[in-house]
A and B are shown apart, each in its own frame.
Chain A
Amino acid sequence: MANIGVLMEIEGGELKGTNFGVLTAAHEQGKNDVYAIVPGEKADAYKDALAAHGAKKIVEVSVSGADLSKSPDLQARALAAAIDEYSLKGVLGLASPIGRDIFARMAADLNLPLVSDAVAVDFDQKTVRKSHFSGKTFATLQLDAEVLLCTIRPNAIEAKEASEAAEIVAFSPSVSDPGRVKVVDAKLSASDKMDLTEAPIIITGGRPIGSADNYKILEECARALGTAAVGASRAAVDAGYAPHSMQVGQTGKTVSPKLYIGCGLSGSVQHFAGMKTSKVIVAINSDKDAPIFEKCDYGILGDLFDVVPALTKALKES
């Protein structure tokens, strides 16, 4: 039994859905007391959801006179202060752009080891499993540390319900900003599209999609699939059909959805580096010799311009 902290990520005033799998990793079937750490002062709205996913306490963190979102260093120090305050034996977060950043700052500040983008954690053994070599191997690492710091690959650990009290406590550490880096502006995307790493279902188009406009057929299919996002291969991004924020794979995003549908993808090692840990992989390709058919779960041989609209229709009808 240990106290484990989990840094919550909030986007647009809501808890990201991928937080819950991280709470599950921290809870270890009830072995640990989980402290959900919420930056800001309005954790009330999240109480029910956090209680249902194993949070024993909710720690509202604020620093007097400072906006935590404007200084990543200050946020890292506030999180580090929670380790002492609540005798945490581990702190987990999401391997998202923000999570990776805050945890690396904290680990460097505290001179503690950190594992980024882990897929499993064992607090007793102090071991963590993660990808090495672009998803081709898994490494098991042993950390020589009093406090285990680790970010978890979004969706890699399935969220499980676990009922706990989720008592809210306020925490205002007296930490100071080293003043090294400041956020001066945010350029928010105009669309309300879900980030790829958050999506439980992803449908991706490769170079055969042929134009930016043709992604519409994948977007329609994504809507029919439910909570789904549209991705692109490196070749499609390099051809100018999609922005880099949609790229899956090496030099793009690493995703781990429950369902990944690849349309017109060859199945390169670099692409698989970013989606190999998906639960179910479906490939749609008109080339029967495409390597992706060797490495996926289900295949449909056919032109994506025929198969995807038919799939959209079938999803809507059933």
Chain B
Amino acid sequence: MQIYVCVKHVPDTAANIKIVGETGYNDSACKFIANPYDEYAIEAAVQLVEKQGGEAVAVTVGPESAVGTLRSAMAMGAARGILIKTEEQFLDTDLTARALKAAIEADGKQADLILTGKGSVDTEGFQTMYRLAGAMGLPVVNEIVKLEVGGGKATVEREIGAGSREVLEANLPCVLGATKGLNEPRYPKFPDIMKAKKKPVDQKALSDLGIDPSGAKTKLLKLEAVPERSGAKMIEGAIPDQVSELVRILREEEKVL
């Protein structure tokens, strides 16, 4: 199977986001990681290649430093990486999808499956996989928690709320977005990390693929820190008094009961 895994280089979820100007943030002060949801996609791709043969290729759109995330994917078992370089901190989802499509097509091999995470934890857009599938005319299912591939089709499950699930089928090739529950992403061992450093990474500029970042339909006007609560009002006393006081506050002052 020829599998492309689309990954994103994102600030660590625990990182402090220091806003710069109206719409930027200080990315040199953040530790970056592979988007957590993408790890489920990488694991799924590597498991399929281990079982059925073929190749898993990691693809990302990002700055030069995003090679780090490609290396993480390769340490988990991807054979090689493709970096589509852009200096934009926030690239519009439609442009990202077009860039991914162009890079996958330019790679010259027929994709059997395109996997990615259900969304990225930086911009939380939850839609690039749909745009990629739409542009390529392929089926798409997001937020999958189970995957079986065989007989030219993918059978997947997704959660639809309160523990209920739907089972869906799509013919290959298709685009699938992974979420927690699909598998347990492996921790790469030291030799795998060393091997990943020697795996090939193909770099292209966004403009090489004919994509102009000024064509975005979504413009970030303002980025602002969400104020933290200033600290709890601690309710004192013995437990029966504490809980009675809490119930009183929630009913009479906050009016949420």
Number of A-B contacts (CB under 8 A): 257
Q: Is the CB of A307 within 8 A of B239?
A: yes
Interface size of B by CB at 8 A reads: 83
Q: Is the CB of A104 within 8 A of B142?
A: yes
Q: Is A47 an interface residue (CB 8 A)?
A: no
Q: Is the CB of B167 within 8 A of A186?
A: yes
**Residue among A111, A134, A143 having the largest count of chain B Cβ atoms under 10 Å:** A134
Q: Is A160 an interface residue (CB 8 A)?
A: no
**Residue among A113, A191, A247 having the largest count of chain B Cβ atoms under 10 Å:** A113
The interface residues of chain B, by DSSP majority, are classed as: mixed
Q: Is A53 an interface residue (CB 8 A)?
A: no
**Residue among B36, B135, B158, B226 having the largest count of chain A Cβ atoms under 10 Å:** B226
Interface size of A by CB at 8 A reads: 93
Q: Is B29 an interface residue (CB 8 A)?
A: no
Choice from A131, A280, A295, A315 contacting B228 with Cβ under 8 Å: A295
**How far is the CB of B37 from the nearest CB of chain A, in Å?**
7
Measured in the bound complex, the distance between the Cα atoms of B243 and A22 in whole Å is 34
Measured between beta carbons, the chain B residues less than 8 angstroms from A252 are: 180
Interface residues of A in 216-263 (CB under 8 A from B): 225-226, 243-245, 247, 250-252, 258-259
Q: Is A32 an interface residue (CB 8 A)?
A: no
Contact A139 to B121, CB < 8 A, known contacts A97-B159, A293-B231: no
**C-beta contact mask, B159-194 vs A, less than 8 Å → 1, else 0?**
111111111111100100001110000000000000
Q: Is the CB of B163 within 8 A of A142?
A: no
Measured in the bound complex, the distance between the Cα atoms of B239 and A301 in whole Å is 9
**How far is the CB of B234 from the nearest CB of chain A, in Å?**
5
Measured between beta carbons, the chain A residues less than 8 angstroms from B138 are: 180
Q: Give me 23 A-to-B residue pairs in the complex whose CB atoms sit less than 8 angstroms apart, sorted by A's number.
A: A97-B159, A97-B161, A107-B130, A107-B131, A117-B126, A132-B223, A139-B222, A141-B219, A143-B217, A180-B139, A180-B174, A181-B170, A186-B164, A195-B161, A245-B161, A251-B36, A251-B179, A259-B257, A270-B13, A294-B229, A294-B231, A314-B240, A314-B246
Binding site for A on B (CB under 8 A): 11, 13-14, 16-17, 19, 25, 36-37, 93-94, 119, 121-127, 129-131, 133-135, 138-143, 145, 155, 157-171, 174, 179-181, 216-226, 228-229, 231-235, 239-240, 242-244, 246-247, 249-251, 254, 256-257
